Amino acid sequence: MGLAKDALIGVGIGLLVYLWVAGYNVLPVGLLILLGVLFWKFVPRPMMGGSDKGIQISGSSIDFNDIGGQNTAKKELKEALDFLLYSKRMKELGIRPLKGVLLSGPPGTGKTLLAKAAARYTDSIFLAISGSEFVEMYAGVGAERVRRLFRKARDLAKKEKKDRAIIFIDEMDILGAKRGSNVSHHEYDQTLNQLLVEMDGLGSEEQGPQILIVAATNRAEALDPALLRPGRFDRQVKVDLPDREGRLAILKIHAKNKPLATDVDLEQIAQETYNFSGAHLESVTNEAAVFALRDDVLEINMTHFQEAVEKVLLGEKLDRKPTDEELQRVAVHEGGHALLAEYVRPHSVAQISIRSRGNALGYVRHYPKDDLYLYTQVMIEEQIMVALAGAIAEETVLGARSTGAAGDYQQALQMVGKMMASGMSSLGVVDVEKLGADQRQKVTCEILSQLENRTREIILGSRETLERLVAVLKRDEVLDGEKLRVLIEEEAA
């Protein structure tokens, strides 16, 4: 192709020179040719079917054993993949081929890793692409890219002499959003329509490799219903945040290649990292190793892990130093949160700190004894009281509240809204959206007023303990939960 192009350019130049020697005015023709060359070289053009842009082709080195904390998701996915592995047996039973598996869940939970492990489990060709790669400003490019993706999967499977291929589409909500939901929806809809056509044709070929679509999304509710009907994405696998046992398994996997000191307790770290995703936990182990490197030590100890949890949760320490007055107020505020938390839920405080991190001047880190999915009215009221305790402590000890409690109030209001939606208010079971603003405000104030009074009584009864806690926090800046409980017991004795 390159030689033919050079030959064509050479013939063109020779023809121009011949015409010029013969006395013809070749300037207009020369200018047109020059403009054409510049246009061809510098103006971007859609690559209709000739580009593999964004497609990643690789053999997977990830195994299901390398993924922790997703036992249910792995079990469901393996069951779906058995349709590929035992396709002959499925045909004997009259079972149609499986066409698609949708992995849905929060970011960082391991959806991409599961897709790679699926390719290794089934010994399939693996092609990965993001949903955003299908959307272009040129009409028809997305649909052509879909067709080329499926052709590529079939050609590679034949080339590698394999009868299975897995196409992984990340960010499926971009490619598969509900039709008509985008402003310039024609190109989006055309691309989605082509994907539906390709999926409908997957089971119609008797010969050739079998193709399975594995897609991942954080927003399954945004997908077009045509994608989710039986016969397209036949299996929907929920990839949720790991529970405590799952977090422990993930920590063990990521800590396997790191030198840990004898004081490192991964079970305690798993307990303290409630609501962390797999990506968060990987970052915790990595940051702990970075802290060990900064300290120039050969092993990662428990202090490094605790620092890493704080950094992942709240951000890096700030250089800004608060004034003595601010430090006193922050210590009182965080001390109020901690004391109230220990009063309503003993042994729930993991750490108190008045070091500035991210947007927080101080914080109290809690951990539950168990991961809970249902909350009673008493539990929600206790959470609201803990949120209000910082401001109540400021008011009790310092005589006034501050703007530092704004985030706590938002948290309290959200939980009051949850109480009303769950029929836990004086209104009983109601449709909250149909309530007037004045009515909602009245019930909200009623609930908060009652809980503020209960919180104030507890803070007043623990004032001496609070003042001693404030003095310790101002001196040490950080206090772990066990030392806090010792301090409370000493004051009670």
Catalytic residues: 334
Residue 454 has which token pair?
């209960």
Supply angle C-alpha 418, 422, 424, rounded to 5. Answer: 95
Residue 240 has which token pair?
């949720």
Phi, psi dihedral angles at 201 (to 5 degrees): -90, 0
- For 257, how many CA atoms within 13 A lie in the half-sphere containing its CB? 4
CA distance 24 to 17: 10
Amino acid letter for position 254: H
CA distance 250 to 265: 14
Report DSSP state, residue 462.
T
CA distance 442 to 397: 29
- For 465, how many CA atoms within 13 A lie in the half-sphere containing its CB? 24
CA of residue 357 relative to chain centroid, distance:
22
Residues present in the chain in total: 493
- If residue 449 lies in a helix (H) or strand (E), which one and from where to where? helix 437-461
Contact assessment for residue 95 and residue 88, using Cβ atoms and an 8 Å cutoff: no
- For 173, how many CA atoms within 13 A lie in the half-sphere containing its CB? 9
Distance, first Cα to last Cα, the chain: 91
CA distance 282 to 62: 16
Residue 438 has which token pair?
């004045």
- For 185, how many CA atoms within 13 A lie in the half-sphere containing its CB? 11
Contact assessment for residue 237 and residue 104, using Cβ atoms and an 8 Å cutoff: yes
Residues contacting residue 32 through CB under 8 Å, at least 6 positions apart: none
Residue 94 has which token pair?
């009259």
Residues contacting residue 276 through CB under 8 Å, at least 6 positions apart: 241, 242, 247, 284, 312
CA distance 47 to 453: 68
- If residue 186 lies in a helix (H) or strand (E), which one and from where to where? helix 185-200
Contact assessment for residue 222 and residue 175, using Cβ atoms and an 8 Å cutoff: no
